[in-house]
Amino acid sequence: MLTTPENNNARLRELCSQRLAPRRIILASNRGPIEYHLTEDGQLEVDIRVEAGLTKHAKGLDFEVRRFLKAGTLWHDTYDVETLSVEGAMRTIIDIPAWNGHLEMVGTPDRVIRYEGKIWHQQHRTLAQGVPREAYNESMTRDMHETLYARMIQEKYPDEAYGGTFMDVLVKTSFVRFDANPAAFMYQDPVPINQQEIEWGVDNITRWCTQMRMMLAGELPIPDNPKLDLGPFRNSKSLYFDVLKGDMDHLADDRFFKDMEDRYPVIEEAK
Which has more pLDDT, 34 or 196? 196
Count of CA atoms in the C-beta half-sphere (13 A) of 81: 25
DSSP 92-113: EEEEETTTTEEEEEEE--SEEE
Which has more pLDDT, 41 or 181? 181
Strands 161-171 and 118-127: parallel
Q: Could you tell me the residue ranges of all domains in the chain?
A: 5-270
Which of 55-64, 119-128, 216-225 has the lowest average pLDDT? 55-64
Residues 185 and 178 sit within 8 Å (Cβ to Cβ): yes
Name the H helices within the chain: 5-20, 61-74, 133-139, 144-156, 175-180, 195-216, 241-244
How many C-beta atoms lie closer than 10 Å to residue 173's C-beta?
17
Residues 125 and 167 sit within 8 Å (Cβ to Cβ): yes
Residues 162 and 133 sit within 8 Å (Cβ to Cβ): no
Beta bridge partners of 121: 112, 165
Would you state the pLDDT for residue 37?
Answer: 63
Q: Is the pLDDT of residue 202 over 50?
A: yes
Mean pLDDT across 220-241: 79
Residue 53: pLDDT band (50, 70, 90) is very low
Q: What is the pLDDT of residues 79-116, one digit of tens each?
A: 999 999 988 889 999 988 878 888 889 889 989 999 99
Q: Is the pLDDT of residue 75 over 80?
A: no
Q: Is the pLDDT of residue 200 over 90?
A: yes
Give CA–CA dist 231/219, Å, rounded: 28
C-alpha dihedral sign at 86, 87, 89, 91: positive
Mean pLDDT across 46-73: 53
| pTM of the predicted model over 0.75 | no
Would you state the pLDDT for residue 23?
Answer: 60
How many C-beta atoms lie closer than 10 Å to residue 44's C-beta?
19
Which has more pLDDT, 184 or 40? 184
Residue 63: pLDDT band (50, 70, 90) is low
Instruction: End-to-end CA distance of the chain: give it in Å, rounded.
Output: 53
Q: Is the pLDDT of residue 172 over 70?
A: yes
Strands 34-38 and 118-127: unpaired
Q: Is 57 helix (H, G, I), strand (E, B) or coil?
A: helix
> In CATH, what number does 5-270 get?
3.90.320
Which of 30-34, 36-40, 188-192 has the lowest average pLDDT? 30-34
Would you state the pLDDT for residue 59?
Answer: 43
